[in-house]
Amino acid sequence: MYTKWKTWAHVTKLDPDKNLNEDQLAEIATSGTDALMLSGTLNITKENMQELRDQVREYGLPLVVEPAGPEAVIAEGIDLLYIASVMNTNQAQWIVGKHKEWALHNKVQWDRVIQEAYIVLNPNSSVAKVTGSDCSIGAQEVAAYAEVADHFFQFPVVYIEYSGTYGNPEIVKAAAEAIDNAVLYYGGGIDSGEKAAEMAQYADTIVVGNAVYDKGVQTLIETVQAIQ
């Protein structure tokens, strides 16, 4: 299996439902980010996932696809599939149900799969609404979910997801202290070098997504430089 993902400090998340021009994509590819993650929650299909893959694959950066569901999985021309299970949902389909359907109807390339334990913490985000996540939990419960994900389920990635808003560093710190083996990802609201540096104190890997579309590629470059 491709193993360099464990050393990534900065990942850029690109949404197949949003558009960037060729110049912007070239700037992102040369920003110093370690990898590109193709991912989104709404209006994601194999077709727009493939279109985005074709736009960025020429730059030679590691490519990760993180599908919202089985209908958006593509495996050709990418390095890894990041497959999420949401820890703090009361809907079993987002823990294991979608995954069962994927295995039932497809030949899964398991050697490309990295399992993610998602802890979703922004109640106003699309991912929280779609998955029915309980975002009212505090640091102790987040740490408990992270510990269970790491030690019981043995997820290689625990992902603290604030999706669209900047989270609480103390909660990320609590999750980091509860983990011994998993790589800790943080995503949400990182739109400056200062925020990237703050979360990078606790998370192994910082994910920057919305800032690319809302504030531009220069902001992305600032987040890369802040954690190098």
Q: Tell me the C-alpha distance between 102 and 80, whole Å.
A: 16
160 assigned to a ligand binding site = yes
**Position 189, amino acid:** G
Helix (H, G, I), strand (E, B) or coil at 208: strand
Query: According to the annotation, is 163 in a ligand binding site?
Result: yes
159 is in an annotated binding site: yes
Q: Are 168 and 188 in contact (CB under 8 A)?
A: no
Q: Is 32 annotated as a binding residue?
A: no
The C-alpha atoms of residue 136 and residue 130 are separated, in whole angstroms, by: 16
Q: Is 41 annotated as a binding residue?
A: yes
Is 54 assigned a ligand-binding role in the annotation?
Answer: no
209 is in an annotated binding site: yes
SS3 state of residue 188: coil
Task: Confirm or deny that 161 is annotated as ligand binding.
Answer: yes
Helix 193-200 × helix 217-227 angle, to 10° = 40
Residue 39 bridge partners (DSSP): 66
Which stretch of DSSP H or E encloses residue 157?
A: strand 157-161
Per the annotation, does 106 bind a ligand? no
Is 193 known as a binding-site position? no
For the annotated binding site, the residues are: 13, 15, 41, 159-164, 189, 209-210
For the annotated binding site for Mg(2+), the residues are: 15, 41
For the annotated binding site for sn-glycerol 1-phosphate, the residues are: 13, 159-164, 189, 209-210
